[in-house]
A and B are shown apart, each in its own frame.
Chain A
Amino acid sequence: MSQLVFLVPLFPLIGFLITGLGRNYLSKTATGYIASGSILGAFIVSCLLFSQVYGSGSGQVFTLFHFIQTEGFSIPFAFQVDQLSSLFLLIITGIGFLIHVYSTSYMHEEDAHHFARFFAYMNLFVFSMLLLVLGANYVIMFIGWEGVGLCSYLLIGYWFKNGDYNYAAKKAFIMNRIGDLGFLLAVFWMLAKLGTATYGEVFSQVATLSTFDITAITMLLFVGAMGKSAQIPLYTWLPDAMAGPTPVSALIHAATMVTAGIYMIARSNVLYTLAPFSQGFVAMIGLATAIFAATIALRQNDIKKVLAYSTVSQLGYMFLGLGVGAYTGAVFHVMTHAFFKALLFLGAGSVIHALHHEQDIRKMGGLKKQLPITHITFLLGCIAIAGIPPFSGFFSKDEILMATYAHQPWMYFIAMGGALMTAFYMFRLYSLTFLGSYRGHTDAAHPIHESPLSMTFPLMVLAVLSVVGGFIGIPAVFAENAHWLEHFLAPVFQPSNELVQHTHLDHATEYLLMGISTVLVLIMILLAVKLFGKDDVDVKKDDTGIKKWMANKWYIDELYQAVIIQPLHIFSVLLKNLVEKNIIDGAVNGVGRLVHYGARQFRLIQSGQVGNYLLFMILSIVVFILIWFNDATILRALNNIF
Chain B
Amino acid sequence: MNAIIVSAVFGVLMMFASFLVNNKNVYRYLAIIGLSVLLLANILETYAIWSIKFDSFLQLSFERFGLFFNSIAIAATLFYVLLSGKDIVRVGNYSAEYFVLIFFILCGVSLITSYNSLLMLFLGIEIISIPLYILTGSDKKNLKSNEAALKYFLMGAFSTGLMLMGIALSYGAVGNFGLEGRGVVAFGGSMRVSFLEVAGLLLLFISMSFKASAAPFHFWTPDVYEGAPSVFTSFMATIVKATVFIGMIKLLEARTGIFGPTWQIILPLMIVLTLAIGNITAVFQQSVKRMLAYSSIAQAGFMLFALWSANDMGREGILLYSVAYTLATVGIFAVLVKMKDYTFDGFNGLAAKQPLVAASVAVFVLSLAGIPLTAGFFAKYFMLASAIKSGAGVWLLVVAVVFAAVSVYYYFRLIQAMYFKEGEAEMFEQPTNSFKGMLAIFAVLLIVLGIAPSLLFNYLYF
Binding site for B on A (CB under 8 A): 595-596, 598-600, 602-603, 605-606, 608, 610, 612-614, 616-617, 620-621, 624-625, 627-628, 631-632, 634-635, 638, 642
Contacts and interface: CB of A to CB of B under 8 A. Distances in A.
Nearest to B264: A635
B265 A627 contact: yes
Contacts of A598: 276, 280
Contacts, number: 79
Interface of B: 151, 154-155, 158, 162, 198-199, 202-203, 206, 210, 216-217, 219-220, 222-223, 259-262, 264-266, 269, 276-277, 280-284, 393, 395, 406, 409
A600 B283 CA distance: 9
A596 B266 contact: no
Contacts of A624: 202, 206, 266
Contacts of B206: 620-621, 624
A631 B260 contact: yes
Nearest to A617: B217
Nearest to A599: B284
Contacts of A603: 281, 284
Contact of A596 (B154, B276, B284, B395): B284
A102 to B, nearest CB: 45
A83 B447 CA distance: 47
B377 to A, nearest CB: 20
Contacts of B154: 610, 614
A634 B265 contact: yes
Given A602-B277, A620-B217, A627-B266, A632 B261 contact: yes
Contacts of B259: 628
A596 B279 CA distance: 11
Contact of B395 (A608, A616, A642): A642
A606 B222 contact: yes
Nearest to B263: A631
A600 B217 contact: no
Contact of A613 (B155, B162, B203): B155
Contacts of A613: 151, 155, 219-220
A415 B260 CA distance: 80
List 10 tightest A-B contacts by C-beta distance, closest first: A599-B284, A613-B219, A631-B261, A620-B216, A631-B262, A635-B261, A602-B281, A598-B280, A599-B283, A628-B262
A635 B281 CA distance: 29
A409 to B, nearest CB: 62
A606 B284 CA distance: 13
B198 A614 contact: no
A608 B216 contact: no
A421 to B, nearest CB: 57
B198 A628 contact: yes
A605 B216 CA distance: 11
Given A605-B219, A635-B261, 19 more contacts: A596-B283, A600-B284, A603-B284, A606-B219, A606-B223, A608-B223, A610-B154, A610-B155, A613-B155, A614-B154, A616-B216, A617-B219, A620-B206, A624-B266, A625-B202, A627-B262, A628-B202, A628-B259, A632-B261
Contacts of B261: 631-632, 634-635
A603 B277 CA distance: 9
Interface-centre pick from B219, B269, B284 (highest chain A CB count, 10 A): B219
A573 to B, nearest CB: 30
Contacts of B222: 606
Most buried by B among A600, A608, A614, A617: A617
5 contacts: A603-B281, A608-B223, A628-B198, A628-B202, A628-B259
A487 B396 CA distance: 65
Contacts of B264: 631, 635
A603 B219 CA distance: 11
A599 B281 contact: yes
A613 B150 CA distance: 14
A595 B217 CA distance: 22
Contacts of A628: 198, 202, 259, 262, 266
Given A599-B280, A600-B284, A614 B155 contact: yes
A622 B258 CA distance: 19
Nearest to A611: B154
Nearest to A625: B202
Contacts of A616: 216, 219
Contact of A635 (B220, B265, B282): B265
A628 B197 CA distance: 13
Contacts of B406: 595
A621 B217 CA distance: 9
A626 B66 CA distance: 35
Contacts of B158: 614, 617
Contacts of A634: 261, 265
A631 B265 contact: yes
A598 B266 CA distance: 22
Contacts of B265: 627, 631, 634-635, 638
Nearest to A623: B216
Nearest to A600: B284
Contacts of B262: 627-628, 631
Nearest to B153: A610
A625 B199 CA distance: 8
A610 B281 CA distance: 19
Contacts of B162: 621
A607 B446 CA distance: 36
B144 to A, nearest CB: 11
A595 B219 contact: no
A642 B394 CA distance: 10
Contacts of B202: 624-625, 628
A595 B283 contact: yes
Counting chain A CB atoms within 10 Å of each CB, the highest count among B154, B217, B280 belongs to B280
A631 B256 CA distance: 14
Given A610-B151, A627-B265, A628-B262, A617 B198 contact: no
A598 to B, nearest CB: 5
A627 B198 CA distance: 13
